[in-house]
Amino acid sequence: MRRYRYLALIPAIGMLGGVPVANRVEPYVLGLPFLLFWITLWVVLTSGIMWLILVLDRARDRAELHAARGDGRDGAAAGPPTPTAE
């Protein structure tokens, strides 16, 4: 069970859930009215969160591959490449 994948819900909750509160012009941040800044911030955070999930998924894929290969003595030759390998 890859429970960290629920992190992917955070962008939707943060971006949209925050809109009623963030729906204002002041304060300006980076020259942007607050609502525009808020949404921009969450677009960037979405990318960051998805990156985190990608990293965790890759680590988990590797771990599962190792487990599937047993102690790994002759696994390197026989094991299939990970599905998410570059």
Footprint on residues 17-76 left by another protein (CB under 8 A): 19-20, 23-25, 28, 30-33, 35-36, 39-40, 42-44, 46-47, 49-51, 53-54, 57
Residue of 5, 62, 63, 74 that binds another protein (CB under 8 A): 5
Residue 45 bridge partners (DSSP): none
DSSP 27-69: SPBTTB-HHHHHHHHHHHHHHHHHHHHHHHHHHHHHHHHHHHT
Closest CB to another protein among 49 and 69? 49
Q: With CB under 8 A, what is the number of residues at the site for another protein? A: 35
**Residue 23, CB-side half-sphere exposure with 13 Å CA sphere:** 5
75 close to 82: Cβ distance less than 8 angstroms: no
Task: List contacts with another protein (CB under 8 A).
Answer: 5, 8, 11-12, 15-16, 19-20, 23-25, 28, 30-33, 35-36, 39-40, 42-44, 46-47, 49-51, 53-54, 57, 83-86
